[in-house]
Chains A and B, each alone.
Chain A
Amino acid sequence: MRAVFPFSAIVGQDEMKLAIRIAAVDASVGGVLVFGDRGTGKSTTVRALAALLPPMEEVSGCPYRCDPHKDRSQCVASCPIIESQGKREGHQTAVPVVDLPLGATEDRVVGALDLERALSQGERAFEPGLLARAHRGFLYIDEVNLLEDHLVDLLLDVAASGENVVEREGISIRHPAKFVLIGSGNPEEGELRPQLLDRFGLSVDVRTPTELATRVEVIKRRDRFERDPDGFVDDWRAEDAALREQIQTAKGRLSQIQIPDSFLERASTLCMALGTDGLRGELTVIRAARALAALEGDGEVGDTHLKQVAAPALRHRLRRNPLDESDSTTRVERAVAEVLGS
């Protein structure tokens, strides 16, 4: 296993780190899109996420990563555990962060007949794909704007339904596939289709740091990591552990966070002021603010949380207005100032 650059060692990029921590606390926020300049550590940050996630329990030997605390009735019919009437014993495992590489073929994404078994034993067995592997975890697509259209459509469909339906090679199977979609890319290489844009709960704009000291620090850390990966990871182990602890605690506290009516009203006013379509924007603002409050140890969501999450939750939902020169971040910030000022 190659060492992964530690999350806590990433310099700056606070909004990106915040968005990812929020998604780690509350999966229902609905995915993170990281768009921005080249060389800003987008994929480094996402790949560092795995180390921050508290372990989860899954049924031993289950190819669909079932939760042992859920009852059997929801299990996949052809699952070997069910077929063999075996016990559903749980064990602790890392939350999956699955890479969907460009050039992946559809059969590997949705799952298909197990090629090796078909060839060697002439057996017809289903081999779950990347979607099954990402269940209860994260699915990461780097260069998401270069992904082939038919894969994008497929992902949208599964992400929306939380279920993967496979009908191929005479196999008919449906299995749960609930995952948080994380995408990254550079807008200069092409925009994302609007339909896909809307599926991400949070969207982050990453910019190259301009301060010299920050830039020097980024380069020094990167270099130290490349020359001695294991030593570097060791140096940051304690900080990553603290972050993991914080996320675990926040997950536990999530349901106890109070959301006052006044906050709901403000979220609605804000979304109306910005003219975002549908309810998805409001829901995301509320959930993200709640996750943030949980992370920060507050008992109730308030204006400070709203201010921090408004831009990532709403900036990609604004209607395009080509004649408005100001970028979407500025528009959201302006609206937040108006709503909170009044």
Chain B
Amino acid sequence: MTLPEDRWERAAQAASLVAVDPALIGGAVVKAGPGPVRDAWCERVRSLIREGTPVRRMPIHVTEDRLLGGLDLVATLRSGKAVLQRGVLAEADGGVVFVAMAERLAASNAAHLCAVLDRHEVLLERDGLGRRTPSRFGVVALDEGIDDQRVPHALHDRLALIVDLEGIAAGPWIREAPETDPEERAWLDEARALLPEVEVPEPVVQALCSAADTLGVPSLRAPLLAMQVARVAAALQGRTVAEAEDASVAAAFVLGPRATRAPAPPETEPEEPEAPEDPPPPEPPRNEDEPPPEDAEQSPPPDPEVLEDVVLAAAQSAMPEGLLLGLQVQRQARSAAGAQGTAGALQKSNQRGRPVGVRPGNPRQDGRLNVVETLRSAAPWQRLRADAEAEKGGQLPADGSGDRDRVRVRPEDFRITKTQRRTETLTIFAVDASGSAAAYRLAEAKGAVEQVLADCYVRRDNVALIAFRRDRADLILPPTKSLVRAKRSLVRLPGGGATPLAAGLDAARALADDARRRGQSPVVVVMTDGKANVARDGSRGGSKPQEDALAAARALREDGVASLFVDTAVRPRPEAKSLAEAMAAQYVALPYVRNQGIASYLSAAAE
């Protein structure tokens, strides 16, 4: 393992790369829980960005009007003309937006960030105002996700650097807030000045593209961003031409963490992804005299093939831990696009159904009246309405006050808070993938998942699939409503081995709990013959596995999770029935399901 000092040095280097020109490289996804290490990292970015540029923090529950901007009601009423209040996105122009808990960011808010990252302007069409405001910024997404919770795909794809701070212990190597360090600031200023001149030669571009290809990084944004990172890295070294070293830095931060497959064996030793001789160079000593650019240009052009190897090696050093191992164990389980790791390809969409919020409507029909928003929408028209009434009626009191002071609210002002008409359902399949009959059962489960999915397609429901076998339960299909993803993940499922029934039920319960927190209502469908032979602690034999399974089943019931137990045994056994009872599940034997269609049972279980 790498020493914490070295890991922090690497992370600190990433902070410098972001700070030079945040908008050029999009920003960074920083995987870390809150704590001194993360604080130090963010502080480093803050203190190193160009002087006077803004830093904005975007809470995940930010409302659209704060994010995009809108009518400044107070100023508007005071001045008698429409005054725009800028939102966070416009205010951050030139600087950095920090997004806390980015793994829970709503898809629509992520889309707003992405639109500005792409177009460098905020396009606003709200509250009677249409504006285009130029805005260029970088985003630092603070990812606190555990397991499969990830930053929304679209945002992840646009942020160049993936930085993992997890497991870095706080210690003396974490420097004090470097705003006290004018030398470092001067160093970054020089890099900024040099940046527009930095060329990235074709072989470097090619090496980055080919490394992305080898590592199974599908999005074209990755090599493009890697190229920009190489440019920044070169500028930081005082070079005007990006070299192999700069490409390696880019590969390690941009491509490696996004890898979804390992390169072919001859080029690497899969057992040692974290080679001790980490190729990415540590940050150069800050007191180093800037090497004259002439030096850089004199160095011989790198040999393309050597370059490619160097870049690939650098990327591999930063591949997510466990990726190689994971790929070997369950290569068949995952699609190319869905491999695990910080690559983030296997993200969960945080979309909670369609964005619902405040909108015009009839409070008697559609929902709850939002008084504040209603008054807001009525406010700008007060003068107009008062004038119109005066014209029509002319019955204003003599002093002209009384009636004019009345707030005139019309039906079209009504704003209602739209409550979700129907909570979304997440159907969690927990499928026994053990033993000889696995292939048959899995085929059955697969068919059922697809059927439910087709059924849910119109209703926009979600489906997830957990398979349990050998000694653990795997989330084969994270909650999705996408037919595309579901089909891709289902193509091949692993089978065989022992039956860790308790682990499977626990996994289903955890997922159900998670779904509840998101406001979804989970339904668990367990497909098994009910015969457990691996306990929670991994031990086999004896009565413990069955006892653990029963305990897990009871826990499901205590959580109040609606469930359906599908007995897959050819000859049903009492264990299955008692399990179904323990979890208060509706019990069905597979043949019936096949005849009736599982969907009808599901809707019954959900009620």
Residue numbers of A with Cβ under 8 A of B are 2, 37-41, 43, 99-109, 112-116, 118-120, 122-124, 127, 130, 142-143, 146, 148-150, 168-170, 186-191, 193-194, 208-210, 212, 215-216, 218-220, 222-223, 227, 320, 322-323, 325
Contact = CB atoms under 8 A, between A and B. Distances in A.
B229 to A, nearest CB: 12
Contact of A190 (B71, B80, B129, B351): B351
Contact of A149 (B208, B228, B354, B381): B354
Interface string B368-404: 0000000000001101100110000000000000000
B359 interface: yes
List the 4 shortest-distance A-B pairs measured between CB atoms, nearest first: A115-B128, A108-B125, A39-B221, A322-B454
B120 interface: yes
Given A101-B115, A148-B359, A187-B483, 6 more contacts: A120-B81, A170-B410, A208-B218, A222-B224, A223-B224, A320-B457
Contacts of B210: 212
A191 B457 contact: yes
Contact of A2 (B121, B205, B483): B121
Interface in B336-390: 349, 351, 354-357, 359-360, 380-381, 383-384, 387-388
Contacts of A115: 71, 82, 127-129, 380
B217 to A, nearest CB: 10
A7 B115 CA distance: 20
B349 A189 contact: yes
A104 B130 CA distance: 9
B123 A99 contact: yes
B64 interface: yes
Contact of A208 (B111, B128, B202, B219): B219
Nearest to A223: B227
Chain B interface category by residue count? 35 or more
A103 B80 contact: no
B112 A102 contact: yes
Contacts of A168: 412
Contact of A212 (B111, B209, B359, B453): B209
Q: Which of A39, A103, A193, A209 has the most CB of B within 10 A?
A: A103
Contacts of B454: 320, 322
Contacts of A40: 220
A108 B130 contact: yes
B559 interface: no
Nearest to A98: B125
A188 B218 contact: no
A186 B128 CA distance: 30
Given A101-B125, A108-B126, A122 B384 contact: yes
Contacts of A108: 125-126, 128-130
A142 B117 CA distance: 14
A215 B223 contact: yes
A216 B209 contact: yes
A114 B209 CA distance: 51
B264 interface: no
Contacts of B586: none
Contacts of A170: 410
Contacts of A122: 383-384, 387
Contact of A216 (B126, B154, B206, B485): B206
Interface string B423-451: 00000000000000000000000010011
A2 B388 CA distance: 43
B204 to A, nearest CB: 11
A37 B205 contact: no
B13 interface: no
Interface in B219-269: 219-224, 227-228
Interface of B: 64, 67-68, 71, 76, 80-82, 107-108, 111-112, 114-115, 118-121, 123-130, 152-154, 157, 196, 200, 202, 205-206, 208-210, 212-213, 218-224, 227-228, 349, 351, 354-357, 359-360, 380-381, 383-384, 387-388, 410, 412, 447, 450-451, 453-454, 457-458, 460, 481-485, 487, 491
B450 A323 contact: yes
A195 to B, nearest CB: 10
Contacts of A148: 354-357, 359
29 contacts: A2-B121, A37-B218, A38-B157, A38-B219, A101-B123, A102-B112, A103-B125, A108-B128, A108-B130, A115-B82, A116-B128, A118-B384, A119-B82, A124-B388, A146-B107, A187-B484, A189-B153, A191-B484, A208-B219, A210-B213, A215-B212, A215-B213, A215-B220, A216-B202, A216-B206, A216-B209, A220-B202, A223-B227, A223-B228
Contact of B482 (A123, A127, A191): A191
Contact of B351 (A43, A113, A189): A189
Contacts of B112: 102-103
Contacts of A130: 125
Contacts of B114: 143
B81 A116 contact: yes
A39 B218 CA distance: 9
Contacts of B119: 2
A115 B387 CA distance: 15
B583 to A, nearest CB: 28
Contacts of B354: 146, 148-149
A313 B484 CA distance: 20
Nearest to A129: B125
Given A108-B126, A322-B451, A323-B447, A219 B351 contact: no
A322 B485 CA distance: 13
Nearest to A41: B220
A189 B106 CA distance: 11
Given A169-B412, A220-B202, A102 B213 contact: no
Q: Which of A41, A169, A194, A325 has the most CB of B within 10 A?
A: A169
A20 B356 CA distance: 32
Nearest to A142: B115
Contacts of B126: 103-105, 108
A290 to B, nearest CB: 32
Nearest to A118: B384
Contact of B381 (A41, A169, A210, A222): A169
A39 B164 CA distance: 24
Contacts of A227: 196
Interface centre among B152, B209, B228, B360 (most CB of A within 10 A): B209
Nearest to B387: A122
B558 to A, nearest CB: 33
Contact of A186 (B80, B82, B154, B481): B154
B209 A215 contact: yes
Given A39-B221, A102-B111, A220-B205, A188 B120 contact: no
A75 B360 CA distance: 29
